[in-house]
């Protein structure tokens, strides 16, 4: 199922999705948009943050289940995506099922993340911020703190998975209504924000 007015930003660590989300939050149109991210700020997401920070170590399969559980709360929970859309808002989020298909695809193979994520609804618009891991790691290092997946080998494999997943979704019948926009994430923040807005401005919520 595809949810209208639902937008997802994806990319490897350091690709710049959070920066673009912040820019959108400053636009006057943001009054019509609910913004969030995965891992979420719910208890399920806080647990995942400890994992990403290296405080807890778990089997990669357990991690795949935990990301899917956090996503279930994000989509179906009282303060979740479905309810925001029902209340007439657009929803724009940083990371979704494609993160699991790419990152957990690397750590536990294709099958488990696909099985765990096959029933979640799809966005109307998916942005993939594409960047070479060497460049994204430079950005991450300048921030100071690093998380468990933030190394060249892991991110190189994750980027490959992302590109494969995008090809796969372009050809899936049930994903036909999902618009996929690949962004060269090495462009300036201003250039990217113009491209991003040119697509978001076409959503039904801004044209009715």
Binding site for ligand TMP (CB under 6 A): 13, 38-39, 52, 67, 94-95, 99-100, 103-104, 147, 149
Q: Is the Cβ of residue 5 or residue 104 nearer to ligand TMP in the bound state? A: 104
Nearer to ligand TMP, 163 or 205 (CB): 163
Dig out the tokens for 144 from the structure: 């100071």
Token pair 């709360």 is found at: 73
Rg (CA), the chain: 16
Max intra-chain CA distance, the chain = 48
Kindly report the number of other CB atoms within 10 A of residue 119's CB atom.
11
Cis peptide before 39 (omega within 30 of 0): yes
End-to-end CA distance of the chain: 22
Q: How far is the CB of 169 from ligand TMP (least distance, A)?
A: 15
**Cβ-proximal residue to ligand TMP, closest one:** 103
Rounded distance between C-alpha atoms, residue 30 and residue 94, angstroms: 15
| Nearest distance, CB of residue 50 and ligand TMP, angstroms | 12
Element (H, E) at 63: helix 60-76
Shortest separation between residue 30's beta carbon and ligand TMP, angstroms: 20
Q: Give me the residues paired with residue 122 across strands.
A: 2
CB of 1 to ligand TMP, least distance (A): 19
CB nearer ligand TMP, residue 94 or residue 130:
94
Specify the residue, 67 or 128, whose C-beta has the smaller distance to ligand TMP.
67
Quote the least distance from Cβ 108 to ligand TMP, whole Å: 11
Q: Contact 24/144 with Cβ under 8 angstroms?
A: no
* 5 versus 98: smaller Cβ distance to ligand TMP: 98
């Amino acid at each position: 199922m595809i949810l209208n007015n639902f937008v997802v930003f994806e990319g490897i660590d350091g690709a710049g999705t959070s920066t673009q989300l912040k820019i959108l939050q400053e636009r006057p149109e943001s009054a019509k948009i609910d913004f969030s991210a995965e891992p979420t700020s719910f208890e399920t997401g806080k647990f995942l943050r400890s994992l990403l920070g290296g405080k807890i170590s778990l089997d990669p399969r357990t991690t795949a289940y935990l990301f899917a559980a956090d996503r279930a709360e994000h989509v179906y929970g009282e303060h979740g995506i479905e309810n925001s859309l029902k209340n007439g808002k657009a929803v724009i989020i940083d990371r979704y099922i494609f993160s699991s298909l790419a990152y957990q695809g690397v750590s536990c193979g294709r099958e488990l993340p696909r099985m765990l994520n096959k029933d979640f609804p799809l966005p109307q618009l998916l942005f993939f911020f594409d960047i070479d891991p060497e460049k994204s790691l430079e950005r991450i290092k300048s921030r100071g703190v690093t998380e468990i997946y933030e190394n060249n080998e892991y991110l190189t494999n994750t980027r490959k998975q992302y590109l494969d997943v995008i090809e796969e979704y372009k050809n899936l019948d049930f994903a036909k209504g999902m618009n996929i926009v690949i962004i060269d994430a090495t462009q300036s923040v201003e250039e990217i924000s113009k491209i991003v807005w040119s697509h978001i401005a076409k959503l039904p919520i801004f044209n009715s």
